[in-house]
Amino acid sequence: MDPQSAAARHVAIIAGHLNCPSPSAAAPLALAACLHYDPPELSEKPPAFDLATLRRVLDGHDLAARDWLFRLMEESPLFCPRGRGDRTFVVPDYNQTKEQQRAVTMRRIEYLLHRRVFEGWVTGSGPEAELRKLAFFECIAIYDHSLSIKLGVTYFLWGGAIRFFGTKRHHDKWLKATEDYQVKGCFAMTELGHGSNVRGIETIATYDTNTREFVINTPCESAQKYWIGGAANDATHTIIFSQLLINGISQGIHAFVAQIRDVDGNVRPNVRIADCGHKTGLNGVDNGRIWFDNLRVPREDLLNSVADVLPDGQYVSSIKDKDKRFAAFMAPLTFGRVNIAATAVYISKVALAIAVRYGLTRRAFSISANGPEVPLLDYPSHQWRLLPLIAKTCAMSSAANYLKRLYVKRTPETNKSIHIYSSSLKATLTWHNMRTLQECRKACGGQGLKTENRIGILIGEYDVQSTFEGDNNVLMQQVSKALLAEYLAAEKMKSPFEGLGLEHMNDPCPIIPADLTSCTLRSIKFQLDLLCLRERDLLGRYASEVSQYQAHGESKQMAVLLSHQLADELARAFTERTILQIFADDEMIQSAGPLKELLGLLRSMYALICVEEDASFLRYGYLSLESAAAARKEVMKLCGELRPDALSVVSSFGIPDAFLSPIAFDWIQANSWASLSNE
């Protein structure tokens, strides 16, 4: 077509558009009635079980104390109450600069301090006091991760180090002052060049016998302390982890108390501090970097419960083995992992409560001509996205409660088990949290991106959980190595397995039926048999592969590294079996009735979604293709059966309405023109 004819054609098309009949001449459009919000409590069936009882199962402890703290935060303007529609929500103002967020975090701490929220957090003792502290921390984390981390650094890391590593002189000097927030401590362990590999940190402490002081130095840039919470602005003191050199001989990692700011907030001589800068989340925490230039620390400020240096420079320790001494110095991190695991479950609960409520009231498309639009959660695909996550979250809630109870009643004999459980559950529950947040964000469409609706911003706030206080992948490798050690010890001693739930290894290998009916798939025995079969087989395969690498000349350490795929599968198998066993135990102690039936559905959903999501069941032949397909279909059936109880389950999570978001309620009114006057 030549250019002239092409131009003529374009002119004709434009003229046709311009000469179209006016809208007034066309037939009037038939307008559908405007959407309106129906509270799900009115449209959903009443709960068949007592919500308060399910909350007691999931929360586990200190329900009244939690509610008191929630009210305390709701009552103060410091927690940014904001009206949306006919409701008020409390959520941090993430539009503030990092400097503003840090300042308001400190004001919130002062508010909670004056209301005695932190009473007993450092000086208290006993299981009840520790569980109450954990409950309060979970509530604070539901409001703001920055606030919880800022508190955790001072009370749990710094305070925990003083308690665990210090002796009476340190306890008398620091514990009460820390609890009253007169001393704001931080925890200088991580370095630019070393995070998970704490043994490799490069900060050096040498002892000066003439002055009876330790001289602490940052010998190179990779040795600068990094990501130290509280260091950039507010911390007055720190625990310095460094290599201790006595007469040129390294005695390994030790911990020292040092003051880094004076009473006026000025950085002390021989200390340099810089800000880590803006982050993708947690901007209410002043993470800092620290360098030490011949910083002198009195001999008495070595935390000496594990080892000491006498005035003449003689090194003494009741623990002669360096590896065991190092393990003792890792003790405060165990509490942190317990805390992180439990907190992750609660953030998953927040996201699911919002997404489920929105999915019950947001409609899209109709499935019949002229029919009403369908609520999102009535679509099987939407149920598949959210309901298995609810089941997992409930199961993991039971596991987190078990871990907390185990920790607060710890004994020297249980320390190893606590380390393994806390490592596996910290990794698994934080990974689950990130997946849940992302799926809930997408399930809420564009509304999930709005900061006020919480889910999107929580992704940035909580992503760090996967790497701090132990990188998740490293923690899971530690779990599989510990299981390998148990396996080799049992083989060598010809003794039965004991502890960590491994007693099933002493029994004959479970036989999985070839024909899996719905009744079989939902039975506790089948589910535990299947997950135990996977665990025992993977443990045997892992041990065999490591042994084969060693037989071909590899060192044990390299053999373990080369077997990382089986190690990852084994750690996952151990953790998922552990969670199922704990959740089943919680189900078994309930009286017969609707709640027990619901827990049975949730338990079956948890077990079968584990099967659905792990290729090892097919890879190693634990299930046939037909059996795996049957398990997949059963998950879909369970979705349909759990759907009527979705609202009741998320309502039992115990999270006050004010800590959810506008889309969990009347999202039309919250976005109306009239609501702008409340902003």
pLDDT in tens, 545-567: 999 999 999 999 999 999 999 99
Alpha-helix runs per DSSP H in 144-233: 145-151, 159-165, 168-170, 176-179
Q: Tell me the pairing of strands 288-292 and 225-228.
A: antiparallel
Angstrom distances, CA of residue 11 to CA of 8, 19, 305:
5, 12, 90
For residue 562, report the phi and psi dihedrals to the nearest 5 degrees.
-70, -20
Residue 2, judged by CB atoms within 10 A of its CB (0-12, 13-18, 19+), counts as: exposed
Structure confidence at residue 8 (pLDDT): 53
Tokens 């050690």 locate to 485
Structure confidence at residue 247 (pLDDT): 87
Angstrom distances, CA of residue 55 to CA of 111, 389, 528, 585, 652:
28, 17, 25, 16, 5
> Would residue 469 show up in a list of annotated catalytic residues for this protein?
yes
Exactly one of 44, 469, 535, 587 is catalytic; name it.
Answer: 469
195 Cβ contact list (under 8 Å, min separation 6): 467, 471
Judged by DSSP in three states, 294 sits in coil
Provide the 10 A C-beta neighbour count for residue 249: 8
| 88 marked among binding-site residues | no
| 361 marked among binding-site residues | no
Structure confidence at residue 369 (pLDDT): 84
For residue 616, report the phi and psi dihedrals to the nearest 5 degrees.
-65, -25
Judged by DSSP in three states, 666 sits in coil
Q: Considering the entire predicted model, what is its pTM?
A: 0.92
Low-confidence ranges of the chain (pLDDT < 50): 1, 3, 6, 10-11, 13-18, 20-31
42 Cβ contact list (under 8 Å, min separation 6): none
> Model confidence over 260-286: pLDDT tens digits?
999 999 999 999 999 999 999 999 999
Tell me the two tokens of residue 352: 């699911």
Structure confidence at residue 1 (pLDDT): 46
Angstrom distances, CA of residue 580 to CA of 419, 508, 636:
19, 20, 19
Report the C-alpha gap between 557 and 534 in whole angstroms.
Answer: 25
Structure confidence at residue 677 (pLDDT): 73
